[in-house]
């Protein structure tokens, strides 16, 4: 229904990633499944109020994170994030922070070389395109000093690097938004919570935010599309 345009927005409930595995569903989560069914490349974004954290790598083992991060992947995710900030959040000139991979961004090669040899040069190349992209920043100090408040969005290198601070700051209010696709999908930022099932203890706020946040993204994207596709028509109407 979503792919056919019969509905405007998909809001998904939490799933048990182990139990849902079958011959028809062999994906680590909704994000990867939807990317296979819709148009575009996906970017997982956790959002709450003005805090937005995207993930360069998603549902993969930590042991595979470093080998998965390449200059091309960083550029791809920055491009998706930049576009979604413009078209889905109406931010005309987004300011983006990129977190480092290693502790203390490698301490000049003492704790890893990826930050200096690959991530910094990639950021410099992106900056040369005119984008306001900065980093890499050591994640602990970045969030500890509240530097995240100075940016429109943050790109984390891996799942827990982004989700741990996000949930510490916004748990119960956050929304998972699948950016980069031609359709809008959101979900609450929590899991199945079997431990409180049937006890009337569930907090509905995150699910409500997923619904209302998704509606706002859809409306903003539709307005952006209308403005950019009909520039001459709109200008002509204003002149007359």
Domain range list for the chain: 9-192+202-239
Q: Give the pLDDT score at 236.
A: 47
Predicted pLDDT at 31: 82
pLDDT tens digit sequence for 97-133 = 999 999 999 999 999 999 999 999 999 999 999 999 9
Looking at residue 231, its pLDDT comes to 64
Average pLDDT over the chain, rounded to an integer:
91
Measure the CA–CA gap between 188 and 141, rounded to whole angstroms. 27
- Whether the Cβ atoms of residue 9 and residue 38 lie closer than 8 Å to each other: no
Return the SS3 of 137: strand
Per residue in 17-32, pLDDT (tens digit) is 777 788 878 787 788 8
What pLDDT sits at residue 220? 97
pLDDT of residue 232: 61
Residue 192: what pLDDT?
80
pTM of the model: 0.88
Instruction: Going from the first residue of the chain to its last (240 residues), give the mean pLDDT of each consecutive group of 10, the final group possibly shorter.
Output: 89 83 79 86 93 95 96 98 98 98 95 96 98 98 97 98 95 92 92 84 89 97 90 55
User: Order of strands across the sheet with 175-181?
Assistant: 9-11, 184-188, 175-181, 40-48, 51-55, 153-156, 95-99, 132-137
Domain 9-192+202-239 - what CATH class? alpha beta
Name the strand (E) or helix (H) holding 124. helix 120-127
Q: How many CA atoms lie within 13 A of 166 on its CB side?
A: 29
Q: How far apart are CA 223 and CA 225, in angstroms?
A: 5
């Amino acid at each position: 229904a979503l792919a056919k345009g019969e509905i405007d927005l998909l809001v998904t409930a939490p799933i048990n990633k182990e139990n849902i595995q079958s011959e028809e569903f062999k994906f680590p989560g909704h994000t990867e499944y939807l990317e296979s069914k819709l148009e575009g490349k996906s970017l997982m974004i956790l959002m709450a109020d003005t805090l937005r954290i995207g993930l360069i790598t998603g549902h993969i083992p930590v042991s595979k994170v470093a080998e998965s991060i390449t200059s091309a992947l960083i550029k791809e995710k920055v491009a998706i994030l930049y576009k979604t900030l413009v078209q889905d959040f109406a931010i005309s000139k987004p300011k983006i922070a990129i977190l480092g991979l290693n502790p203390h961004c490698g301490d000049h090669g003492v704790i890893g070389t990826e930050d200096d040899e690959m991530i910094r040069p990639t950021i410099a190349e992106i900056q040369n395109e005119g984008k306001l992209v900065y980093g890499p920043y050591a994640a602990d100090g970045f969030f500890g000093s509240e530097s995240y408040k100075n940016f429109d969005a943050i790109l984390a290198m891996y799942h827990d690097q982004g989700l741990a601070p996000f949930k510490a700051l916004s748990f119960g209010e956050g929304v998972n938004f699948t950016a980069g696709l031609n359709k809008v999908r959101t979900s609450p930022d929590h899991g199945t919570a079997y431990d409180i099932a049937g006890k009337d203890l569930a907090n509905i706020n995150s699910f409500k935010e997923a619904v209302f946040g998704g509606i706002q993204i859809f409306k903003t994207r539709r307005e952006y599309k209308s403005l950019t596709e009909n520039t001459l028509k709109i200008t002509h109407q204003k002149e007359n």
